[in-house]
A and B are shown apart, each in its own frame.
Chain A
Amino acid sequence: MMLADALIVSAILFTIGVVGVLTRRNAIILFMCVELMLNAVNLSFVTFAKLHGVSGHVFVILVMTIAAAEAAVGLAIVISVFRHFGAVDLQSLKLLRR
């Protein structure tokens, strides 16, 4: 019973992340929504670890490491965009549109 509940929460969190990415335009908020998606997946992994043993926990550690690397690189890219455009709003990025 607990397992199903946790999976449903994880699916809801993932959906919130997806909807956030699709509707918001601020790069930082988009980035937070992507992190929310990854953490929703982590919740799923932990839940499945209850069924399938310890490897689910190991995957969570891997995903957290990768997400941290992604965060470092992502924020650096956001800063470089801010230096060029003076904003982190995706609507102000229109150099590459024809």
Chain B
Amino acid sequence: MTDFAEPGALLGALLPEITLLLGTLILLLVGAWGGESSSPTRRSARFALGIVGVTAVAVVFAWLRGDGFTTDDRLTGDGFRWAIDLVLLLGTAGALAIFDTEQLRTRAYQAEIPVLMLLALSGMMIISASRDLMFTYIGLELMSIAVYVLAGANRSSARSAEASIKYFLLGAFASGFLLYGIALLYGAVGDTRLSALGAATPSAMYLVGVALLLVGFAFKVGAVPFHLWTPDVYDGAPSPITAFMAACVKASAFAMLLRVMAEGIGPAIVHWHPVVWWLAAITMVVGNVVALAQPNVKRMLAYSSIAHSGYLLVAVLAYSQEAAAAVVFYLLAYTLATIGAFAVLGIVSEGRETTVTIDDLSGLWHVRPGLAVALSVCLLAFFGFPIAGGAGFFAKWYVIQAALASHTPLTVLVVVLVLASVVSAGYYLTAISAMFNRPRPSQLPMPVQTPLLSGIVMVVAVVALLVLGVFPTPASRLAAAATLRAAPLATPVAGTMTVSAPTVAATEDAGSTP
């Protein structure tokens, strides 16, 4: 391991990101050029879809060729990076298609919005590639600053502005904690590379750094008690942006959390394991219970996304290769369901500024059966229902399997997970029953015809969820291969697991008995 990489090697390792950024620069021109005749925003959204496609090809090539490593060990080309990148690209493509529909309806957005989405995406891809806390921080800020603006994308809406400033202030506050944690870890170890952090013996300063880092992470993934921004921001932001945040920002936050915990702060596992244990348990319970009381569908999905953070934290705690594969599969299923659900909501909401309530969904089956079925499949996937919920069932199944098979079986946490999922039936099934069992109120407007791009998104999401729900093996094999080929993920985890397993068992018992 050398201290610095060759500039050429660095360029090679970041080739998909550079492709994306070059495309984004051209996209800025595309928005500025062009006649008055057609909407520049929609042209820019479609061009952005093309750039996402090209980047996906670059990612696949880089994965097949095994590119992406640098000699200084600051960037990694392991399968985990590329698999997460593909999930992020899928989520962004869906959000762009939903955005195109929304713009068709409202004409409220500028041509720069797709540009900002791609800039945020490049930040996320840097996060998934980085094995150095400073790189992670730069990627995180690149993502966050773009998403702060996106939350306020609708400039004529006061709700959007309010969401934007709340997200900005709390996000910047959380970044401050994260950065102080990085500074203290740097002070304790003398390096910000995860490999160096993973080989260090924890001192007092190291532990304080880990604690601050965890506070920052908990904010970013929306874990209780640091979740307070989530419902307001998800509710106030425009629907396509909410879909983007729920799918992509969450996926990249978890990629960051998993990599830093598995490769970086493993030596302090005895100290953070019980803390994260409680974080996961409280997040699952609070997210699901509060979601029961939400009549507003976007707020309900916000609390449901908090609950999903809790499920994913269980997988992070399981701390094994299987758990990493389970996280990748879970993020894929969650992204598909989120994109599908928001595509339907975008059409049902008619481009109105106020958000959809459960009452607005009543009788949807009688007027637009296709929309009702698509939304039901996505909600059942969130719930984790077998067959009809498709991949959502296996996502939870793999998480539970990994949690039970981990070195110290997380039995109590799995019981909490299952009970919390049962509670979540209360609100998912209420929405579904409103669509199918209630009559359509006459004063509700008829949903418009589904535009082509949104229709494609819905069909792809629903079909992919259902197919993966019957044949999950190819995707789960791919996820397992992605995380197994990752030599860097394998070695430090195995090393720390064997060293600290008995002590973890002790803390796990202490954490679960009261």
Contact = CB atoms under 8 A, between A and B. Distances in A.
Interface of A: 7, 14, 17-18, 21, 27, 30-31, 34, 37-38, 40-41, 44-45, 47-48, 51-53, 55-56, 59, 62-63, 66, 69-70, 73-74, 76-78, 80-81, 83-85, 90, 93, 95-98
Contact of B166 (A14, A56, A84, A93): A93
Nearest to B134: A59
Contacts of B183: 41, 44-45, 48, 59
A52 B265 CA distance: 20
B145 A95 contact: no
Chain B CB within 10 Å, residue with most, of A44, A74, A96: A96
A53 B187 CA distance: 11
B172 interface: yes
B382 interface: no
A76 B153 CA distance: 12
Contacts of B236: 95-96
Nearest to A3: B187
A44 B184 CA distance: 8
B173 interface: yes
A70 B145 contact: yes
Nearest to A80: B161
| Interface residue SS majority, chain A | helix
A67 to B, nearest CB: 9
A63 B179 contact: yes
Given A44-B184, A93-B166, A77 B148 contact: yes
20 contacts: A34-B169, A34-B172, A41-B179, A41-B183, A44-B180, A55-B192, A56-B186, A66-B138, A66-B145, A69-B141, A74-B172, A78-B165, A84-B158, A85-B161, A85-B162, A90-B169, A93-B165, A95-B159, A96-B163, A96-B236
A41 B178 CA distance: 10
Interface residues of B, number: 39
B141 A48 contact: no
Given A74-B172, A96-B162, A80 B152 contact: yes
Contacts of A69: 141, 145
| Interface residue SS majority, chain B | helix
Contacts of A21: 169, 173
Chain A CB within 10 Å, residue with most, of B149, B166, B176, B299: B176
A81 B162 contact: yes
Interface of B: 134, 137-138, 141, 145, 148-149, 152, 155, 158-159, 161-166, 168-169, 172-173, 176-177, 179-180, 183-184, 186-187, 190-192, 231-232, 235-236, 294, 296, 299
B235 A96 contact: yes
A49 to B, nearest CB: 9
Closest 5 CB pairs of A and B: A37-B176, A84-B158, A52-B190, A48-B187, A44-B183
B296 A41 contact: no
Contact of A77 (B168, B173, B296, B299): B168
A92 to B, nearest CB: 10
Chain A CB within 10 Å, residue with most, of B168, B191, B294: B168
Nearest to A82: B161
Nearest to B135: A62
B176 A38 contact: yes
Given A70-B172, A80-B155, A48 B180 contact: no
A44 B187 contact: yes
Nearest to B156: A84
B96 to A, nearest CB: 22
A41 B165 contact: no
A77 B164 CA distance: 7
A51 to B, nearest CB: 7
Contact of B158 (A7, A14, A77, A95): A95
Nearest to B299: A98
Given A37-B176, A95-B159, A30 B164 contact: no
A69 B175 CA distance: 14
B165 A34 contact: no
A28 to B, nearest CB: 11
